Amino acid sequence: MEDAIALAEAMEKAPNVKAALDLYEHGRREEVEKTQHAADVSLVWFEHVDRFWDFDPVQFAFGVMTRSKAITYDNLKLRAPDFVAEVEKSFAKQVRDAGFDVDTQKPAVPLFQPFRLREMEIANRAVMSPMCMYSAKEGVPTDFHLVHYGSRAVGGAGLIFTEMTCVSREARITPGCAGLWNDEQEAAWRRIVDFVHGNSAAKICLQLGHAGRKGATKLMWDGIDRPLEEGGWDVVSASPLPYFPDSQVPRELDRAGMSAVRDAFVAAAERGERCGFDMLELHCAHGYLLASFISPLTNTRNDEYGGSLENRLRFPLEIFEALRAVWPSHKPMSVRISATDWADGGINGDDAVAIARAFAEAGVDLVDVSTGQTVRDAQPVYGRMFQTPFSDQVRNEARVATMCVGNITTADQANTILAAGRADLVALGRPHLVDPFFTMKAAAWYGAESAFCPPQYLPGKDQIFRNSVRDRQDLEELRIKAKPKTRAELKAEATKPLAAE
């Protein structure tokens, strides 16, 4: 019917039939593709419904209703508030069963339920995603980084991730990348960690990585992944394959080089522990060094580190196990993976499950599920929450805790993902870039009074919570006015004039 109306309108507006058909095509294609994409996502859910058989029935039902991402937590709450109240109680009971003392009768929304990894407890499930800032000086974080991480921690995020912090000078992506290979860098990171711990309830995770063949490149705003024209350094990878045809050809890492890289990771982790970081993440995604070993598109070796997935995982697992050996046993570790290369012959979702299981056996506590950026000719399928299905698959097939990321922009979307059991934590990148207080604003909207706020900012918290109560009341009044009348209400209205007479 919508297509027919659009075609009629196009015929009325255009001077001739061909122009009308062109106008119709241009106007309707995007909407149709959205509908088709939602149908595809819905189909995938039904094709893999066995992932959810052991879910609580209420959570299962919520997953069915939100499977295509067309319906989300907030608009379902407008349609069926009593049902969503049961969803909130069901989620809170899971949190209580995990050992937390939470209210299960009037629970907080999923985003503001606590979570535990080993002995690290976080107050909410909102995470600031790791994002490179390209603003360090010879690897040393500056005042920019102190404000950047400190403000997001004060803004209420439960967990803060550092940008990819490079384990050596040669491991950097760009000259502006942060590092942790000398005392000056260690002191700068310790200052940031101390500020986060002293002024917020946030926990902070150190992400360690090595750029591999994507190193010695320009700052993002000067040409992302483009090779430096001067001042570069030698780069290494699993195999001697350049990223761009005109990129530097990396040296294939030999066993001596692998040992040196492993030792650099271990030294950086030991520095990270001295800084006081709460958690450690190993970056094995986005085509960087360790990811280049995992993907068959970038690993063409014929030794024990190439060929099968088991062999391709050998070196990344070696690094992880070496880190786990020196990282305190009470502190958690995560790994970031690319769950698909978005390219024929590359990593896919089933491979991601196997990768996650291998790291889980090595002691990983959380899998940070990202995708792509492995090869230049990849064809990613973008959209809101576009990487969440991979987190869903890894979480519910590998049976390991996951963090999802990727075009997640609202607290509503985060609640949808969590309540449906598609991830345990939700990382937001760009929303945090423009709004350090993203989480505090979400806490106010959902009435999460327990959200931590520094005493200096309490008047602001009080005001936004008061205003949000009024805003929610206004929304509820609109909902009631727009709610379709029941048969009984219509009948009562129809007979009311007769009764008055």
388 and 496: one domain?
no
132 and 169: one domain?
yes
DSSP 8-state class, residue 69: S
User: Of 288, 382, 446, 457, which residue is the catalytic one?
Assistant: 288
462 and 380: one domain?
no
267 and 135: one domain?
yes
Q: CA-CA distance, 308 to 306, in Å (whole number)?
A: 6
277 and 138: one domain?
yes
Q: Is residue 37 part of a domain?
A: no
The total of structural domains in the chain comes to 2
Choose among 201, 335, 337, 339: nearest CA to 279.
335
pLDDT at 475: 78
As a dihedral over the C-alpha atoms of residue 103, residue 104, residue 108, residue 114, rounded to 10 degrees, the angle is 70
pLDDT at 322: 98
- Identify the domain containing residue 125 by its residue range: 110-448
310 and 441: one domain?
yes
**Exposure class string for 333-361: b at 16+ Cβ within 10 A, else e:** bbbbbbbbbbbeebbbbebbbebbbbbbe
Backbone angles phi, psi at 67, to 5 degrees: -60, -35
Q: Is residue 117 part of a domain?
A: yes
Q: Is residue 395 part of a domain?
A: yes
357 and 490: one domain?
no
472 and 336: one domain?
no
Are the C-beta atoms of 377 and 405 separated by less than 8 Å? Answer: no
Q: Which residues of the chain have pLDDT under 70?
A: 482-487, 489-501
Radius of gyration of the chain (CA): 25
Q: Is residue 327 part of a domain?
A: yes
Annotated active-site residue 288? The verdict is yes
Are the C-beta atoms of 339 and 370 separated by less than 8 Å? Answer: yes
Q: Is residue 69 part of a domain?
A: no
CA max distance for the chain: 98
Q: CA-CA distance, 400 to 82, in Å (whole number)?
A: 31
Q: Is residue 365 part of a domain?
A: yes
293 and 168: one domain?
yes
CATH for 396? 3.20.20.70
410 and 469: one domain?
no
**426 membership: H or E segment, kind and range:** strand 425-428
pLDDT at 484: 66
340 and 275: one domain?
yes
Are the C-beta atoms of 439 and 157 separated by less than 8 Å? Answer: yes
Q: Is residue 469 part of a domain?
A: yes
Tell me: the pLDDT tens digits for 248-265?
Answer: 999 999 999 999 999 999
Q: Is residue 101 part of a domain?
A: no
313 and 338: one domain?
yes
Domain closes at, from 448, 468, 486: 448
